[in-house]
Chains A and B, each alone.
Chain A
Amino acid sequence: MSVNIMTEHNGIDQSSTVDVFRSEVREWLAANAPRESLLPWTSREGFDQHRAWEQTLFEGGYAAVDWPIEYGGRGADLRLTMAFAEEYYRVRAPERVNMGGLYLLGPVLMQYGTEEQRARWIPDLLACNTIWCQGFSEPGSGSDLASLSTRAVRDGDHFVVNGQKTWTSMGGFADWIFALVRTDPEAAKHRKHSGITFLCIDLRTPGVEVRPLAMVDGTKGFAEVFFTDVRVPVENVVGGVDQGWKVAMSTLGFERGAVFGDHAKFSNDVAALAGLVRRRGLEQDTLALDELGRVLVETEVYRANVYRLAALAEAGGNLDQTASINKLFWTEMQHDIFATGLRLMAEEGGVVGGDREVLPGVDPVTAHAWKDWHHRYWYARAAMIFGGTSEIQRNIISERVLGLPMEPRPT
């Protein structure tokens, strides 16, 4: 397939102002966004609903407005990208699935992929025909990612992969995995970051076994992935054989860095908290006002930071040094929002939704919202662990951003 065939959507008229683009998006969302909230993506049925929505977004030209036009995006600059997200979350459109593809692999391919790889994977990724998952963590290698031991041995024009990945988000629903594998164990004896390769693997390849795992909330949101003599073509390597660590770091940079526009999502959550305060009749309660005010302040600060980073990026600045600070801040803010919500629910915070009969006096919408709130609360807890734990972010901030003396490393 040639790259040009991918050009399905027109770029945005560069003279188009934010307001014009906003009203275009607003109109489209009004006509197309699902009126009722979808089932959670952690069930098969819910996942299919989300995938169908992603396909609608793609057809409308809104799957990734900020991507270059030749890759199926709209070439939107950051102002327009943020306007899109603000509108998206304003109507509370569904959570995006295929995050691994959209926010991680896509940008990585643009940085390190070959033209051929981009043409091969990006269109399907964008149309949500393929769901991608991230195969970094292993049972023995979490925070110490570079100690990973999944092996890939060259055999002609293939690699033969053996090993195991774990905590793989959406693993049970995914079609492809981008994985870190060890291709040169000798190199690792000198420097453990050497000899690692970033490899894309079709999960339907013989020898791959995916076992969905139930998460703390009972849903099967992640999985273990086992590889037994899995043959993967060499052309699936991204960024060069043994050169995977820098590709992995770039992936984690995208995972930790600002997602331009997601501040609007948190503002919705704080508005929902305001609704909760009102329903509980706490409008005059100074403690409730203080709690609500604190999380509101945090979301405002986060918005200010997103705009600052956008300005920095537009001026050609480097955001590498900002990613860990951003991740630590937003994950703690997100936790604060959801934990505050549970506190404001008071005794009801111990009840995970339910219908009218079990929760008399509570309307179904509220009951649904409660369930959703709990779901998102657990997600907030997870976010402090995935993408590098909060402690790892603190290590990075102190040693690499502030330049504090390194910890003595085991010799």
Chain B
Amino acid sequence: MTETLDLDRRQLDEVTKVLLDRHCGLEYLRERMDAGEAHQPALWNRLAETGLVSALVADEAGGAGLTPRHLPGVLHATGYHGVPEPFLETAVLGVTILGAYAEDPWVADQLRALAEGSLLVAVRLAVLDPHVAFAAQSDLLLDVADDGTVTAYPTAEVAVTSLEAVDPLRPVARVALPGSGRVLGVDPALARRVRTLAVAGSACQLAGAARRLLDLTVEYVSVRHQFGRPIGSFQAVKHKIADVAVGVDMAEAAAMGALDAVDEPDAAARAAAAKAYAGDAAARANVEALQLHGGIGFTWEYHLHFWLKRVMALSVAYGTTAAHRRGLAADLLNRTGRREPGHE
């Protein structure tokens, strides 16, 4: 059972890496950045053709019938490669929501279109995040309210105000929902699961993006020479990088572990902890990566800023570090307060 899961994961990770290496490299990101447009059907179609977009869609609806537990590595890779597409939003959150109502023929049609790659979904989780990622690019907007009410809106009917995002390759918007959406149902458990997936999934992406900053920095300081030696041989440089490496490594453990634990009773807490920690670790990676690149890293021309911005964007998405920390602390106080006090 776990062995097949491991095997499937390895295959998915490999497929994703090959695809993104080839089609979502530095030039591609540069081109999207210059075009001022993140999403591009060509890349999304490739993700769909490979089966990644429909990985979580049930077999009978044309997908692979996998679970979110298959995807830690794939989500990590989308961060590592700076993928400028709503993969988490559409292929994970969107599919989870729509999949829960697939007996509704209208929903089934949406799901089929999504699986084919012709429908982009954005998800509004107002308790976690005031903004909606990829709203302006989406075809369908799903609102998951705090009380578990799930409502679908064709994006064309929603007032979407695009905001100037810190990361142009992860666009965000404010949305004003019209009075009349299509209520799919009220399901607090589903809402909880979607929130957990958003938090754990974005933590995986964040860890991936932070890993890229680490790799870029290791690479750069190994070749850049000053004072007749590689700057990476200076201990002051090494020690900063070592601290970044600890953060990235532990963020991966926590984030990928949290997604793996999505079916456990404490899934939400694990996801929150992972997201809070990944935010911190990525902030450290952000600061040190630019510092250690010096002037070149500060240019628009050099690619470092793709990931500096991605980690900034993701670390505030689906709950900030501070919000998750305080939420966890408040839960702990509630829990331990009931069976008074734990001083042995």
Contact = CB atoms under 8 A, between A and B. Distances in A.
A293 B329 contact: yes
A325 B329 contact: no
Interface stretch (A5-13, A185-193, A203-211, A264-272): A264-272
A404 B222 contact: yes
B278 to A, nearest CB: 9
Given A289-B329, A329-B246, A402-B218, A308 B257 contact: yes
A294 B325 contact: yes
A284 B269 CA distance: 20
Nearest to B323: A293
Contact of B328 (A296, A302, A322, A407): A296
Contacts of A408: 229, 233
B336 A301 contact: no
A398 B241 contact: yes
Given A405-B229, A408-B229, A408-B233, A292 B329 contact: yes
Contact of A274 (B6, B253, B333): B333
A369 interface: yes
B238 A278 contact: no
Interface in A276-327: 277-279, 283, 286, 288-290, 292-294, 296-298, 300-302, 304-305, 307-308, 315, 322, 325
Contact of B336 (A37, A275, A369): A275
A365 interface: yes
A275 B242 contact: no
B341 A394 contact: no
B233 to A, nearest CB: 4
Contacts of A297: 273, 276-277, 324-325, 328
A75 B253 CA distance: 27
Instruction: Give the secondary structure class of A's interface.
Output: helix
B91 interface: no
A315 B270 CA distance: 23
Contact of B258 (A304, A394, A398, A405): A304
A329 B332 contact: no
A301 B235 CA distance: 27
A375 interface: no
Given A404-B241, A408-B229, A271 B336 contact: yes
A398 B242 contact: yes
B343 interface: yes
A328 B239 contact: no
Given A369-B343, A398-B239, A301 B253 contact: yes
A381 interface: no
Contact of A278 (B246, B254, B256, B337): B337
Given A292-B332, A369-B344, A305 B253 contact: yes
A397 B253 contact: no
Interface residues of A, number: 52
A292 B276 CA distance: 13
Given A297-B277, A300-B269, A325-B246, A289 B238 contact: no
A298 B343 contact: no
Given A329-B250, A404-B222, A296 B329 contact: yes
Given A278-B337, A401-B245, A293 B326 contact: yes
For chain B, the bracket of interface size reads 35 or more
Given A405-B222, A405-B233, A270 B332 contact: yes
B35 interface: no
Contact of A402 (B241, B250, B344): B241
A304 B342 contact: no
B240 to A, nearest CB: 9
A290 B337 CA distance: 18
B146 to A, nearest CB: 21
A305 B207 CA distance: 14
Contacts of A278: 333, 336-337, 341
B322 interface: yes
B116 interface: no
B141 interface: no
Contacts of A315: 6
B333 A301 contact: no
B226 to A, nearest CB: 12
A318 to B, nearest CB: 15
A288 B332 CA distance: 13
A289 B242 contact: no
Most buried by A among B230, B234, B245, B269: B245
A294 B250 CA distance: 14
Closest 8 CB pairs of A and B: A293-B325, A300-B273, A398-B238, A293-B329, A394-B242, A304-B257, A397-B242, A292-B329
29 contacts: A92-B344, A268-B342, A272-B342, A274-B342, A275-B336, A277-B329, A279-B341, A293-B325, A294-B276, A296-B273, A297-B277, A298-B277, A301-B277, A304-B250, A304-B253, A304-B258, A307-B257, A308-B256, A322-B249, A325-B249, A397-B245, A397-B246, A398-B241, A403-B218, A403-B222, A404-B222, A404-B233, A407-B234, A407-B238
Given A275-B342, A369-B343, A397-B245, 16 more contacts: A289-B330, A290-B326, A292-B329, A292-B333, A293-B276, A293-B325, A296-B329, A297-B273, A304-B257, A325-B250, A394-B238, A398-B238, A402-B245, A404-B218, A404-B233, A405-B233
